[in-house]
Amino acid sequence: MSVPPPAALFREGHYLTYPHSNGFCQDGHNVVLGRQEGRTASLWRTSLEHEADRRICGMDVAAFGEKLLWFDVALNVDRLSVCAGNELWIYDLDSPKSGDCVYRADAPAQLHSLSSISADGRRVLVGLKYPDRHAALLVEIHTGKSRVLFEKPWHVNHLHFSPHDEAWIGICHEGLCDTVPDRVWGWHATGAPEGRCLLDHHWGDPAREIHIGHERWCFHATTALAVAYGVSPGGPRGIYECGPAQAPRLIVEGDRHWHVNVSWSGRFVVIDTTGPHDLPGKGWTDSNSISDVLLLDRKSGELRCLARSRLDSHPSHPHPAFSRDEKIILFNEAIPQPRGNRVRLVKNPFLA
């Protein structure tokens, strides 16, 4: 795979939401982006076409531990959820200044920065951290009621609804990938009321031991994709698909895969890397702050390099994402200023 010319600039100074979240509006040509403006973080509705950008909200984040706003847009209605400090907010994207705080966490609980909103925009899933445990909280937006779905003595993170079957919830057992052997979990009220690990990491078998992370549930099936990082002592490394009714299987091999995302039909998978894809090595070896964006066509099995990006700390992980029609991939790129970032755009060459 050769390295293509630079991708088109989409927005300067903005960033994409987290890979397992959705940023695209119902119409398919508007996407929500975040932006840092001094001590303020803001969200913007931006257009893939020629419409003017519109500011959704801005919040003073100077006193928060997390200086970014991470958000999730509902799949079937233009409404988003976003956590700021210890508050969960809802915004209707067609109604300017519509913000409504629907939940506040009281000490000693701390609200996680990542939330997941249901497809109909009526429920939000978010994590709660206590001194001795973590909990998954479900908030009913229209009634204001909330309830804890489950608790764990370990760090529960990356909670998100399965887009294909919202009865299933994705869970990450957070921690260092070389010390946590069961990172990819699913939860179901009756099928897995205590949750269960969905991907065998073969811990203790040096030839097969893989270190897993950055799981993302699929749109087309009740399955999740996850990355076996290049730092894994065993293999094969690369992108795996797993699910409550499917044995894990490798769908593409690679020694530098980092984050993964999937298109709506499931045909395409986009991956960013922990260094140049065309240099020898695995994991972060000789990464030189480079991350390549790779595209897999599962129909043909072909893997292409779409673009080369520069990485830094959040929000400057590439975090590639598909447009709803699968024709466009957006990704982040670091720029040379403290936490500076831009969003670039590249067309799907398999649909050209």
Per-residue pLDDT tens over the stretch 97-154: 779 999 999 999 999 999 999 999 999 999 999 999 999 999 999 998 999 999 999 9
Cα-to-chain-centroid distance, residue 250: 20
pLDDT of residue 339: 63
Helix, strand or coil for residue 202? Answer: coil
SS3 content of the chain, % helix, strand, coil (to 5): 0, 50, 50
CA 277 – CA 269 distance, rounded (Å): 16
Maximum pairwise Cα distance, the chain:
55
Tell me if 215 sits within 8 A of 170, measured CB to CB: yes
What region, left, alpha or beta, does residue 52 occupy, with left being phi > 0 and alpha being psi -120 to 50 degrees? Answer: beta
Q: Which of 297, 288, 299 is nearest to 334 (CA)?
A: 288
Single out the residue of 228, 230, 223 nearest to residue 239, CA to CA.
228
Dihedral (C-alpha) 300, 306, 308, 312: value to the nearest 10 degrees? -80
In terms of residues, how long is the chain? 352
Confidence of residue 67 (pLDDT cuts 50, 70, 90): confident
1-15, 163-177, 187-201, 263-277: which range is least confident on average?
Answer: 1-15
pLDDT tier at 338, thresholds 50, 70, 90: low
* Gap between the Cα atoms of 345 and 331, Å rounded: 7
Tens of pLDDT along 267-309?
999 999 999 999 988 999 999 999 999 999 999 999 999 999 9
Is the per-residue pLDDT at 12 higher than 70?
yes
Q: Of 300, 209, 306, whose CA–CA distance to 261 is shortest? A: 306
Q: What is the mean pLDDT of the chain?
A: 95
Token pair recorded at residue 339: 């936490």
Per residue in 44-54, pLDDT (tens digit) is 999 999 889 99
Cα Rg of the chain (Å, integer)? 19
Global pTM? 0.96
Residue 231 DSSP class: T
Burial class (CB in 10 A: 0-12, 13-18, 19+), 71: buried
CA angle, residues 231, 232, 237, in degrees to nearest 5? 105
Judged against a pLDDT cut of 70, whether residue 41 lies above it is answered with yes
Q: What is the per-residue pLDDT across 211-255, written as a single tens digit (0 to 9) for each?
A: 999 999 999 999 999 999 999 999 999 999 999 999 999 999 999
11-161 belongs to CATH 2.130.10.10: yes
Per-residue tokens: 195:
């949750």
169 versus 3: which is more confidently predicted?
A: 169
Q: What is the DSSP string of 17-77?
A: --TTS--B-TTSSEEEEEEEETTEEEEEEEESSSPPPEEEEEEE-TTSS--S--EEE-SSS
More confident residue, 209 or 94: 209
Q: What letter represents residue 237's amino acid?
A: R
pLDDT higher than threshold 90 for residue 66: no
What tens digit of pLDDT does each residue of 154-177 get? 999 999 999 999 999 999 999 998
Q: Report the alpha-carbon distance of residue 319 to residue 80 in Å, rounded.
A: 19
What is the reported pLDDT for 2? 78
Please report which confidence band the pLDDT of residue 37 belongs to, taking 50, 70 and 90 as the band edges.
confident
